[in-house]
């Protein structure tokens, strides 16, 4: 897939706190995604509420916010950092729910942020067993 020249910075949503034996795959995949995006030259902004993950290592992203993953907090970060895109698919259910809230509250449209990795329709369909 060719690099998108219209995107310079990407906000990645993490999964937040994990339970021992559960959800560590989000931490690993999110870390790898951040590293790959940085290697491609994108500015990576990370939001994760769990400071004890490898994802929040200073080498993982250009800017790291250890903040709650909810639409109001992320909206403030979007307003401050002005990312071009939002990648919610590395943070599991927490990040997906937050991204849907950001869409429904008009935050992504207001700040011209494109959701990448999944669309609202795809997330809605995956959440609804009847639609899936």
Q: Annotate 97-117 with b (16+ C-beta within 10 A) or e (fewer).
A: bbbbebbeeebbeebebebeb
Whether 132 is in a domain gets the answer no
Whether 58 is in a domain gets the answer yes
Whether 70 is in a domain gets the answer yes
Whole-prediction pTM value? 0.89
Whether 13 is in a domain gets the answer no
Q: What is the pLDDT of residue 75?
A: 99
**CATH value at residue 78:** 3.40.50.20
Whether 57 is in a domain gets the answer yes
Whether 9 is in a domain gets the answer no
- Structural domain including 37 reads 18-127
Q: What is the pLDDT of residue 77?
A: 99
Could you report the average pLDDT of every consecutive run of 10 residues in the chain (132 residues)? 90 82 73 95 95 84 96 98 96 90 97 91 70 55
Number of domains within the chain: 1
Q: What is the pLDDT of residue 119?
A: 80
Whether 2 is in a domain gets the answer no
Whether 11 is in a domain gets the answer no
């Amino acid at each position: 897939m060719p690099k998108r020249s219209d995107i310079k910075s990407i906000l990645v949503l993490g999964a937040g706190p994990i339970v021992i034996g559960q959800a560590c795959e989000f931490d690993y995949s999110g870390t790898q995604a951040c590293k790959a995006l940085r290697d491609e030259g994108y500015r990576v902004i990370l939001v994760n509420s769990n400071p004890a993950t490898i994802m929040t290592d200073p080498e993982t992203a250009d800017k790291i916010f250890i903040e709650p993953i909810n639409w109001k907090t992320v909206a403030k970060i979007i307003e401050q950092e002005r990312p071009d895109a939002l990648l919610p698919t590395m943070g599991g259910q927490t990040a997906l729910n937050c991204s849907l809230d950001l869409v429904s509250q008009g935050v992504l449209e207001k700040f011209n942020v494109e959701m990448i990795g999944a669309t609202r329709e795809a997330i809605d369909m995956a959440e609804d067993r009847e639609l899936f």
